[in-house]
Amino acid sequence: MAKLKDRYANALLELSEESGSLEEDLEHAFLIRDALKGPEVQGFLLHPHIPDSDKYKLFHKAFSENIRGHLMGFLHLMVQKNRESLIVPILTEYIDRLNKRLGKIEAKVVSAKALTKKQIELIRTVLSKKMNMEVKVKTTVDPDVLGGFYILVDGRIFDRTVRSELNKMKESLKRGSYE
Q: pLDDT value at position 74?
A: 94
pTM of the predicted structure, to 2 decimals: 0.73
**Quick one: pLDDT band at residue 76, thresholds 50, 70, 90?**
very high
Q: pLDDT value at position 177?
A: 66
Using CB atoms within 10 Å of the CB of residue 21, give its burial: 0 to 12 exposed, 13 to 18 middle, 19+ buried.
middle
Q: pLDDT value at position 90?
A: 96
Is the model's pLDDT at 178 over the cut of 70? no
**Which domains occur in the chain, in start order?**
2-100 (1.10.520.20), 103-175 (3.40.30)
Q: pLDDT value at position 120?
A: 94
Q: pLDDT value at position 179?
A: 57
Rg of the chain, C-alpha, whole Å: 21
**Residue 109 neighbours by CB distance under 10 Å:** 22
What percentage of the chain carries pLDDT values higher than 70? 98
CB 166 within 8 A of CB 135: no
Q: Where are the alpha helices (DSSP H) in 20-161?
A: 22-36, 39-46, 52-63, 69-80, 87-101, 117-131
CA 71, 77, 82, 83 dihedral sign is negative
Query: Distance between CA 28 and CA 67 in Å, rounded?
Result: 6
Is the model's pLDDT at 64 over the cut of 90? no
At a CB cut-off of 8 Å and minimum separation 6, what does 42 contact? 36, 88
pLDDT tens readout for residues 41-61: 999 999 999 999 999 999 999
Query: Distance between CA 44 and CA 40 in Å, rounded?
Result: 6
Sequence letter at residue 78: M
pLDDT tens readout for residues 122-166: 999 999 998 889 999 999 999 888 888 999 988 889 888 888 888
Mean pLDDT rounded to a whole number for the chain? 90
